[in-house]
Amino acid sequence: MSIISTVAPEQASGKVAEIYGKIQQTMGRVPNAFQMYSSSPALLEQNFMAIAYYMQHPTLSFPLLATVRMLVSQKNDCQYCVGLNEAMLMGMANMTPEQIAATKRDPQEAPLPEKDKAMLLLVLKATQSPKSVEKTELDQLRALGWNDGEIMDAVYHGARNVAADIVFNTFKIENDY
């Protein structure tokens, strides 16, 4: 049980009910990851809009983004996010448990195209040691075909995930996947 008050979908009203309706339409249910933000309707809306943006991102693939979230959360010991993203990678990206285990041991083993793997590694570095990122690493991504907007979007996605891990760990989110 979370240690902060949340609003269950069947008890939602006003802005929270409106946003829950959009989440329900998009995802088929309102996961605890969204209910966690229900005490702050503005944060709930911001988080839904961010997820909606990344779900439709034209170049950052679902497997890349889910792998980013899984590995960032592994580093931050957010078991909710690790497990949820593992489940999504298996169910929606057809990754095997063995591939996921190998990726968690060594991100270089991620079953992603080389271009995506390079982006993954940069995001992991940025979320773990941001001051160590060098211009040459961005140049390498650019040489693989990534543009600065895509690099910004990917790093920001990883950074948002760090914040979510902190929130979920602080308030003891319940697993619902």
Nearest to 177 by CA among 91, 83, 108: 83
- Based on the fold, state whether residues 86 and 45 are members of the same structural domain: no
- pLDDT tens digits, 10-29: 999 999 999 999 999 988 99
Separation between Cα atoms, residue 173 and residue 164, nearest integer Å: 11
What mean pLDDT do residues 114-119 have?
Answer: 98
- Based on the fold, state whether residues 79 and 43 are members of the same structural domain: no
- Based on the fold, state whether residues 38 and 88 are members of the same structural domain: no
What is residue 177's predicted lDDT score, i.e. its pLDDT? Answer: 82
- Is residue 159 in a domain? yes
- Is residue 1 in a domain? no
**CATH code for the domain in which residue 160 is found:** 1.20.1290.10
- Based on the fold, state whether residues 78 and 159 are members of the same structural domain: yes
Question: Taking the C-alpha atoms of 162, 165, 171 and 172 in order, what is their torsion angle to the nearest 10 degrees?
Answer: -170
What is residue 27's predicted lDDT score, i.e. its pLDDT? Answer: 87
- Based on the fold, state whether residues 69 and 36 are members of the same structural domain: no
- Based on the fold, state whether residues 94 and 166 are members of the same structural domain: yes
What is residue 110's predicted lDDT score, i.e. its pLDDT? Answer: 98
- Is residue 132 in a domain? yes
What total number of domains does the chain contain?
2
What is residue 63's predicted lDDT score, i.e. its pLDDT? Answer: 98
- Is residue 2 in a domain? no
- The three-point CA angle 138-52-48 to 5° equals 110
- Based on the fold, state whether residues 113 and 146 are members of the same structural domain: yes
- Based on the fold, state whether residues 161 and 127 are members of the same structural domain: yes
- Based on the fold, state whether residues 66 and 96 are members of the same structural domain: yes
What mean pLDDT do residues 33-41 have?
Answer: 96
* Token code pair at residue 132: 């160590």
- Based on the fold, state whether residues 42 and 81 are members of the same structural domain: no
- Contacts of 88-96 with CB under 8 Å at 24 or more apart are 88/62, 89/63, 92/62, 92/66, 93/62, 93/63, 93/66, 95/63
Tell me the pLDDT of the chain averaged across its residues. 96
Domain interval for residue 48: 9-55
